Amino acid sequence: MAEGSTREINYLRISVTDRCNLRCLYCMPKEGVSFLGHEDILRYEEILRIVAIAVRTGVLKARVTGGEPLARKGIVDFLRRLHEMNGLHDISLTTNGTLLEACAEPLRDAGLKRINISLDSLVAEKYHTITRGGNLDAVMRGIAAAERAGFSPVKINVVAIRGFNDDEILDFARLTLDHRFQVRFIEFMPIGNVSLAEGFTYYPNDEIKKKIETLRPLAAAPPNSLNTNGPARIYRMEGAAGEIGLISAMSHRFCDSCNRLRLTADGHLRTCLLSDDELDLKKVIRNGCSDGDLEAAIRGAISEKHRNTLSDRHEMARKNCARGMSAIGG
C-alpha cells in the first residue's frame, strides 16, 4: 500500500464493450455515437492477462460491465475463465437485463453468483422512454430467470431522477418485501455529456430513505447480510426478505474511501470515475511488455490514485469528464 494511505485498491470494474442495445437518456445519445472499432477493443485474452496482473497488485474483486456486457459475443465463456483465475474472490456482473433470460443459467454455470440489473422504472411506457425503446417485460423475465437460477443476491440498480421515477420509490421498495432482492437507489450523476440529461436532477438518498420509512420502519442491515460492499448504505424494511441500498454519489462523497480501478473496453486503466487521467494499458501490452512491466505500470497508476483524492475536484471533474458512463462502465 502506498505511504500515507489506508485504502486497499482491491476492486476492478471491467468494461468489456462500449456498445449497448439500449440508449438510456442519461447515458448515451440517440444517434451519432462513435463506437470503438474491433481492433480497439481489448480481446478477452488481453483482459484476462491484465486482470491476472492486477490480482498481483492486490485486486480481489471484479465487476464486469459495459456498455451492455451480455451483448458481447463470448461473454459467458469469458466469465468462466475469470472464475477460473486464482486470487479473485468476488466476481459480479452489471447488466441492463434485457438479454438475461436466456443467459441466466449459463452464467450461473460459468461460476457467476452475483448480478446487478439496472431498472429505472416499473412502468412499461416509462421504461421504454428512459431507455429509448427498451422492453420492460424482457427485463422482468431476466430478473425472474436470475432469481430462479439462484443468484444471490439479485441486486436491482435504480437511478433515481427527480420528476421521473421518484413516484415509484415505494413500488421499488415493495419488491424487497417478498424477494431477496437488494434494490439500490443510485443518485443520478450528470457526468460526461451533461446535455444528454438536461433537466434531470438527482433525487437525494436521504429523501428516498424518508419516503420508504413512510411505508415501514427501516433498520440498518447487518454488514454483508446480502453480500454487500462498496459505497452503498444498506437497510432492511421491517419484515422484508430483501434489502434497500442507498448510493449517494452526489449528496455524500466517498472519494476518500474509494477502492476502485476501472478498465475501459479500449484498455485504458482509469483510477477515478471522474478523471480522464488514464493509463493506456492496451498500448503497453500490444507493445509486447513483460508481465513485470505490466505490473509496474498498474502499480504506478495505483500509487497515483493514493496521491490524488478527488473530493475537492469532484464537481469540476464531473463536468469535464470526456467519457460518458457507457464508455466507462458506471
Residues that bind ligand SF4 (CB under 6 A): 20, 22-24, 27-28, 66-68, 96, 118, 325-326
Residue 191's binding partner among ligand SAM, ligand SF4, none (Cβ under 5 to 8 angstroms by kind) is ligand SAM
110 or 297: CB nearest ligand SAM: 110
191 in contact with ligand SAM (CB under 6 A) = yes
Other CB atoms within 10 Å distance of the CB of residue 311 = 11
Q: Are 232 and 61 in contact (CB under 8 A)?
A: no
Q: How far apart are CA 93 and CA 116, in angstroms?
A: 6
Taking CB atoms, the residue at the shortest distance from ligand SAM is 330
The residues pairing with 184 across neighbouring beta strands, listed in sequence order, are 157, 245
> Alpha helices of 110-194 — where are they, by DSSP H?
124-130, 136-149, 169-178
Report the residue from 92, 176, 248, 326 that binds ligand SAM according to the rule CB under 6 A.
326
The β-bridge partners of 181 are 154
> Which of ligand SAM, ligand SF4, none has residue 88 at its interface (CB below 5 to 8 Å by kind)?
none
Q: Which of residues 50-79 bind ligand SAM (CB under 6 A)?
A: 65-68
User: Minimum Å distance from CB 151 to ligand SF4?
Assistant: 19
Other Cβ atoms closer than 10 A to 239? 8
Distance between CA 296 and CA 57 in Å, rounded?
9
CB of 47 to ligand SAM, least distance (A): 16
**Helix H or strand E encompassing 183:** strand 181-187
Contact call for residue 20 and ligand SAM (CB under 6 A): yes
**Distance of alpha carbon 192 from alpha carbon 262, whole angstroms:** 16
One of 112, 186, 265, 285 touching ligand SAM (CB under 6 A): 186
- Nearer to ligand SAM by C-beta: 201 or 303? 201
**130 touches ligand SAM by CB under 6 A:** no
| Structural Rg of the chain based on CA atoms | 19
The footprint of ligand SAM (CB under 6 A) covers 20, 26-27, 65-68, 94-96, 118, 157, 159, 186, 188-189, 191, 325-326, 329-330
